[in-house]
Structure 1
Amino acid sequence: INTYRKPTHTDQYLLWTSEHPTIHKMSVIRTLYHRANIITEERDRKQEDKHIQHALKTCRYPTWAINKGKQQTTTERKEQPKQRTRNPERQEPKPVITLPYIRGITEKIRATMKKHNINTPTKPYTTVRNRLVHPKDKIPAGLKCGVIYEIPCKLCNKTYIGETGRQLNTRTIEHRKECEKEASRKHTRAAKEEAESTIKKSAVTDHCTRENHVMDWDNTRIINTEQQKYKRWVEIRRCGP
């Protein structure tokens, strides 16, 4: 019995030179040899080994990596399966932080996190799919939901940073209407004192009322997109409105 491959099979695996963590590439080697160990008969295993080595070398895998992956699967095969035992004192699960893989940087961060007992799985940072595949039309900025946005003032260098889970246009229209409503009030001393003592719906309305300024609505821009409300709040605090 040998490993069956379709006539259309190309032996194209994850390239060794691709921007992926080394552990992902080593898992490709182990998977191929593990399959050979559990499917291929002893008499056909030598031929399968040659096929695997040829396919991996075509994908630019170095000899040392192929030998190491093969050795790991051989060792696992010889070891007896461990019996699972219940631990009465259940340990707390390790915290997990998923890191984007950037060669030379992610490894250093993982080493630091490991000292603090933090598990750090990695994922590709930039892929061909992310760069080339865009099946949907680009959404206009005003129609995007779950955004952190910035509105500059026309008369000073201050900006308002806010967040919304709805469409950006919907929220900016609300801001604009409230500011225009406050600006249309009679400019009497009593009206001014009342306006200053009233708690406004947002800081942008408060700024326009107290300073008698106008926001530059046409230059509203999106700082970031985030669907989770709490993460938007964290982003606002980070930006320091």
Structure 2
Amino acid sequence: MPFATSIYRKPTFTGLLLKWSSYVPKTYKISAISTMIYRAIKICSTFKLMTQEFDFIRKLAIQNGYPINFIESQIRSTLNRYYNYKYSQKPNSLTAAVLSAKKKEQAYVDIPYFDKTTEKLGKKLIKIAASVRPQLHVQPIPRPPPAISTFFSSKDKILIYLQSGVVYEISCQDCEATYIGKTLRQIQRRLHEHGQPSSPEQKSNTPTQTTSTSQNDL
């Protein structure tokens, strides 16, 4: 019996992809689909398994808002690109040396993404570079704006005495002795176990007090 291979997905697979409605360059959306198609071509050992995986990709992409025409276009283009490369005639050593000599210098330029305006700017940059330095090929890379969540903290800051998993230091007020330790529990609880008073009244009546500083464990 021949050995068959296909795509495996973990039980925790959520089916989420880059949404079609996401404000990102179209190349990101093309890559989101074409990578799954290419993986199916490489891993699926039979034509039947590959077509089953293509059906799954269609269903998954539609659930994430992708148009069926776009999905079919990516399946066709990825298949053509793969098989054209696989069965194309490989150049000999002389041809490869000529192609290597004619290879242009690459320069990558990050530009902010603003839909079609970014595409027009990228084409102008390529034309300007070609007229100034013909041996230089400029490749514009559109970058989408950062997510709104990056500008706001999603969690409240934890007070230092309520933090856990820290390295702490205790200094004695009667001498120059110090103690450095590490704890996975809350620093307040650990300092109390070292003898630090737990209430302000106890602190004021205690002749010898302990102080501490802590920092996140590296």
TM-score, length-scaled by structure 1: 0.50
In angstroms, what is the RMSD of aligned CA positions?
Answer: 2.6
User: 2:106 & 2:156 partners in 1: Cα distance?
Assistant: 38
How many correspondences in the alignment? Answer: 137
User: 2:34 & 2:149 partners in 1: Cα distance?
Assistant: 25
Task: Name which structure has the greater RCO, CA cutoff 8 Å, separation 6+.
Answer: 1
Mapped pair 1:120 → 2:124: no
User: 1:111 & 1:100 partners in 2: Cα distance?
Assistant: 14
Inter-CA distance 86–30: structure 2 relative to 1 (3 Å threshold): same
User: 1:37 & 1:91 partners in 2: Cα distance?
Assistant: 30
User: 1:116 & 1:136 partners in 2: Cα distance?
Assistant: 49
**Partner of 1:100 in structure 2?**
112
The superposition leaves residues 59-106 of structure 1 with CA deviations (integer Å, 9 ceiling, x where unpaired) of 111112111110111102221445582346355514331112122321
Following superposition, which runs of at least 4 residues in structure 1 exceed 6 angstroms of deviation? 134-137
Inter-CA distance 55–121: structure 2 relative to 1 (3 Å threshold): same
Mapped pair 1:51 → 2:62: no
The superposition leaves residues 138-164 of structure 1 with CA deviations (integer Å, 9 ceiling, x where unpaired) of xxxxxxxxxxxxxxxxxxxxxxxxxxx
Inter-CA distance 110–133: structure 2 relative to 1 (3 Å threshold): farther
**Partner of 2:101 in structure 1?**
89
Q: How does 1:93-172 map to 2 (within 5 A)?
A: 93-117=105-129, 118-132=138-152
Q: Which runs of 5+ in 2 are unaligned?
A: 130-137, 158-218
Inter-CA distance 46–107: structure 2 relative to 1 (3 Å threshold): same
**Partner of 1:31 in structure 2?**
35
Q: Which has more strand, going by share of residues?
A: 2
Inter-CA distance 2–113: structure 2 relative to 1 (3 Å threshold): same
Mapped pair 1:8 → 2:12: yes
Q: Which runs of 5+ in 1 are unaligned?
A: 138-241
